[in-house]
Structure 1
């Protein structure tokens, strides 16, 4: 099965009528109002405490992006990179809470000695994708609410096919609206340190699959 077919299968047949999976398209021609893309507020919102502390410690990584782009073209090569990075980081890092590792409730950093919490997974995936040439403006950490009410963080990747989610709790990569979370806020596409609220007005949240 071709990579394009795999993408189509994973992203779901319901969106195929709205999003073309033939050839990559220019970001200027992408309909970002499509359900495959999250809608965000125009004005900035509060930055999570852990993210603010991360920027205080790593100021160079939180400067405004020099050449932000709206979306990455999801070519076969880019899709393979997403799959490989998601799988590699999920396999290499053991989930451990910040309380257990550092004695505090929130401490955003890269995985330490093979351990980390959800933000650490997302940060590491983001770092590896940037090293592979992905634009930082298309790689955004999002804060979500799980069905049990607990907070969680994932890496949201903006492509011309939709906003894809790389999650340490799932082996597959899905469109944001095919994940079992309520989305609260994410980083803006202008800076790591700027955050925007997400308008998640779905009346039904997709339930987790049996394989999760």
Structure 2
């Protein structure tokens, strides 16, 4: 499980900003790609999760930021189909286990090559496979949120010209970030090897597209 200090949760909850989202009926366009939605804006530097820093020491190639790559993906039906298929396949393939069960530690980030992992491991594998499919790694950001159980959770945020979308191991539906019901704490920076704050923005849940 992703660890977040209680003070961080308190800070995020104190900074809630309610954001509107598209209705469930408008979540996907008629041409097979999502209807455009507002992006998630960063608001300054943030401390990287300890387990991410440890992961980067072990696997530096997964953490480098190449500023020559585009910040956003120009989304089309083919790319969206690839993103959806990757999200579904990883959610189906990986067995959900806690880091304590898996590694005997509170928090460890890794590519789940043994077929087991928790939230951040799902996200790391999705990013790796999408990068191998040709999507720019710079536009795919590990993101820390507070979930519906008031616990730390990690997802993959994909930044596109149609808004920012979340790939999540809790659901197969890929939602605009503003429809997930999460509190957004921080994500990877697109400008350096580091993290940036998302200001504790709170989002409503669109229940009918949860799965």
Same fold (TM over 0.5): yes
Unmatched runs of 5 consecutive residues or more in structure 1: 1-8, 25-33
Contact 2:87/2:126, CA 8 A, preserved across alignment: yes
Question: Counterparts of 1:56 and 1:114 in 2: how far apart (Å)?
Answer: 22
Structure scoring higher RCO (CA < 8 A, sep ≥ 6) equals 2
What is aligned with 1:165? 166
Structure 1 residues 53 and 114: CA distance shift in structure 2, 3 A: same
What is aligned with 1:44? 45
Cα deviation for residue 59 of structure 1 reads 2.1
SS at match of 1:130: helix
What is aligned with 1:90? 91
Question: Counterparts of 1:77 and 1:15 in 2: how far apart (Å)?
Answer: 14
Structure 1 residues 76 and 100: CA distance shift in structure 2, 3 A: same
Contact 1:145/1:184, CA 8 A, preserved across alignment: yes
Q: Which consecutive aligned stretches of 4+ in structure 1 deviate over 3 angstroms post-superposition? A: 9-12, 207-212
Cα deviation for residue 68 of structure 1 reads 2.8
What is aligned with 2:135? 134
Moved more, 61-70 or 72-81: 61-70
Contact 1:11/1:174, CA 8 A, preserved across alignment: no
Count of residue pairs brought into register by the alignment: 188
Cα deviation for residue 189 of structure 1 reads 1.2
- Scaled by the length of structure 1, the TM-score of the pair is 0.79
Cα deviation for residue 201 of structure 1 reads 3.8
Question: Counterparts of 2:128 and 2:164 in 1: how far apart (Å)?
Answer: 18
